[in-house]
């Protein structure tokens, strides 16, 4: 049987918890595409034309399931090239992939010393801190302003061209983080744990304060990327990485209500929200089900990492679309046969009735075997027909 929907139509059907022609596949091939295209990390970050070419080359093995904009619509993403992030966090950025370099990383430390002070005087209190060991305080303010407000436009024009040439939507317009996730970087996980136990109400108050900023900047970014004109730019990628292993009571108090407020705010402004999770959500599925309360259909997607997908389908099926979760170790060390078998099982567990997207666990690792990525794509086509 052949496809009767485009990738975008298929994705929309899945978001709507409807049955598409087949299970969509969404591998999140961020660094992987750059790597396969022979780029260094530096080229990939700073030379849009080269990355555009790598993305076009990637069509050969990923097909139309690419979503190139993910890595460039930027805030707190691995590149750390959004102005705000550059000037407030200890980013270490290498030019090359391992073993000569590494993926960009944030070094956790206690950068926010006093929640009240930051809420009162604003984030500028921690800009260009000399506590950052990346020498950012030596860089010019113009540099910061450019990256904060102008740089996205460069990528926006690149992805518009990508769409014009290929008809493939970009799937992500803006990017935001859950405040608890940001706080992990701004307080360090150990201090954040102390805070959550010794001053939970302050953490919550600060989270709501930060949530407004995140909602605003992601919306702005999505508009710059072309929300309303360029298909997919209306999606906000809402990152929920950390802290890992939250107990359900703390999660219900500090995580869920803030996330819900942000989701509601985006949906009210016409955006869709792609909630991306980095940790096992199995203990929290009931709480996540509440994300769509009071919202029109098809506006929220949950992309789940280490979670028990069968259980997720049981709890969320018919309410919220889910995406996931071929393990990253399998993509790096496994064989195509193993990937195929894993995908088959996922499709059996999750695809019935629609609302499921076959995906990687977080992202397809940069060092995945190419044949494993191909095996995943083929599995969606082979086992995913409705």
Partner 1 sequence: MGKVSDGIAALDAAAACAAVRADLERGRDPMELIDEARVGLQEVGERFDAGEYFLIELIRASQVFQETADLINPKLTELYGRGESRGKVLIGTVAGDIHDLGKSIVKVLLDCRGVEIMDLGVDVAPPAFVAAVRDFGPGVVGMSALLTAAIPQFRTTVEALEAAGLRDTVKIIVGGGTVIDLDAAMLKADHVASDANAGVDVMLAWLDEAGGASAAN
Three-state secondary structure call for residue 174: strand
Pick from partner 1, ligand B12, none: which does 379 bind, CB < 5 to 8 A by kind? Answer: none
Is residue 364 near ligand B12 by the rule CB under 6 A? no
Residue 74 or residue 234: which is nearer to ligand B12 going by CB? Answer: 74
Residue 145 has a CB neighbour count (10 Å cut-off) of 12
Q: Tell which positions 56-115 bind partner 1, by CB under 8 A.
A: 97-99, 102-103, 105-108
Residue 6 or residue 282: which is nearer to ligand B12 going by CB? Answer: 282
Q: How far is the CB of 48 from ligand B12 (least distance, A)?
A: 20
Q: How far is the CB of 181 from ligand B12 (least distance, A)?
A: 8
96, two tokens:
């090359």
Residue 189 or residue 250: which is nearer to ligand B12 going by CB? Answer: 189
What are the φ and ψ backbone dihedral angles of 140, each rounded to 5 degrees? -80, 155
Q: Closest by alpha carbon to 319, among 339, 344, 302, 336? A: 302
Distances (CA, A) of 168 to 8, 50, 265, 313, 328: 8, 18, 28, 28, 25
Q: How far is the CB of 140 from ligand B12 (least distance, A)?
A: 26
Site string for partner 1, 217-256 (x = CB under 8 A): --------------------------xxxxxx-x------
Q: Tell which positions 311-350 bind ligand B12, by CB under 6 A.
A: 328, 332
Instruction: Give the residue, chosen from 196, 304, 316, 358, that forms a contact with partner 1 under the rule CB under 8 A.
Output: 196
What are the φ and ψ backbone dihedral angles of 238, each rounded to 5 degrees? -105, 105
57, two tokens:
């080359």
Report the C-alpha gap between 257 and 263 in whole angstroms: 10
Distances (CA, A) of 315 to 18, 49, 277, 285: 17, 43, 17, 7
Residue 103 or residue 127: which is nearer to ligand B12 going by CB? Answer: 103
Is residue 278 near ligand B12 by the rule CB under 6 A? yes
Three-state secondary structure call for residue 86: helix
Pick from ligand B12, partner 1, none: which does 104 bind, CB < 5 to 8 A by kind? Answer: ligand B12
In this structure, are residues 40 and 33 in contact, taking their beta carbons and an 8 Å threshold? no
Report the C-alpha gap between 218 and 75 in whole angstroms: 8
Site string for partner 1, 118-157 (x = CB under 8 A): ----------------------------------------
List residues near partner 1 by CB under 8 A: 97-99, 102-103, 105-108, 189-190, 193-194, 196-198, 243-248, 250, 283, 328-329, 332-333, 365-367
């Amino acid at each position: 049987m052949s496809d009767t929907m485009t990738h975008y139509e298929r994705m929309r059907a899945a978001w709507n918890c409807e049955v598409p022609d087949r299970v969509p596949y969404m591998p999140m091939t961020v660094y992987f595409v750059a790597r396969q295209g022979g780029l260094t990390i530096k080229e990939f970050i700073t030379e849009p034309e080269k990355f555009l070419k790598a993305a076009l080359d990637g069509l050969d093995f990923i097909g139309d399931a690419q979503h190139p904009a993910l890595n460039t619509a930027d805030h707190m993403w691995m590149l750390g090239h959004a102005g705000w992030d550059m000037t407030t966090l200890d980013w270490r950025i290498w030019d090359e992939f391992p073993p000569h370099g590494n993926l960009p990383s944030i070094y956790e430390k206690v950068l926010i010393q006093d929640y009240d002070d930051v809420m009162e005087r604003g984030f500028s209190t921690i800009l260009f801190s000399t506590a950052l060991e990346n020498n950012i305080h030596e860089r010019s303010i113009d540099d910061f302003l450019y990256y904060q407000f102008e740089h996205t436009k460069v990528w926006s024009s690149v992805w518009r061209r990508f769409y014009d040439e290929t008809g493939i939507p970009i799937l992500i317009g803006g990017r935001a983080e859950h405040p608890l996730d940001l706080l992990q970087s701004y307080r360090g996980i150990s201090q954040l744990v102390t805070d959550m136990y010794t001053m939970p109400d302050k953490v919550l108050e600060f989270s709501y304060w930060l949530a407004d900023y995140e909602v605003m900047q992601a919306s702005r970014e999505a508009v710059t990327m072309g929300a309303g004109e360029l298909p997919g730019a209306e999606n906000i990628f809402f990152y929920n990485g950390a802290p890992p292993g939250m107990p359900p009571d703390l999660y219900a108090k500090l995580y869920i209500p803030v996330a819900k407020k942000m989701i509601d705010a985006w949906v009210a402004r016409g955006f869709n929200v792609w909630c991306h999770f980095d940790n096992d959500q199995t203990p929290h599925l009931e709480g996540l089900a509440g994300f769509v309360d009071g919202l029109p259909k098809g506006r929220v997607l949950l992309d789940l990492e280490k979670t028990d997908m069968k259980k997720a389908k049981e709890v969320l099926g018919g309410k919220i679309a889910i995406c996931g979760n071929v393990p990253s170790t399998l993509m790096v060390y496994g064989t195509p046969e193993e990937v195929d078998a894993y995908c088959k099982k996922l499709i059996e567990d999750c695809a019935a009735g629609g609302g499921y997207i076959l995906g990687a666990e977080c992202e397809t690792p940069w060092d995945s075997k190419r044949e494993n990525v191909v095996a995943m794509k083929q599995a969606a086509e082979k086992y995913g027909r409705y």
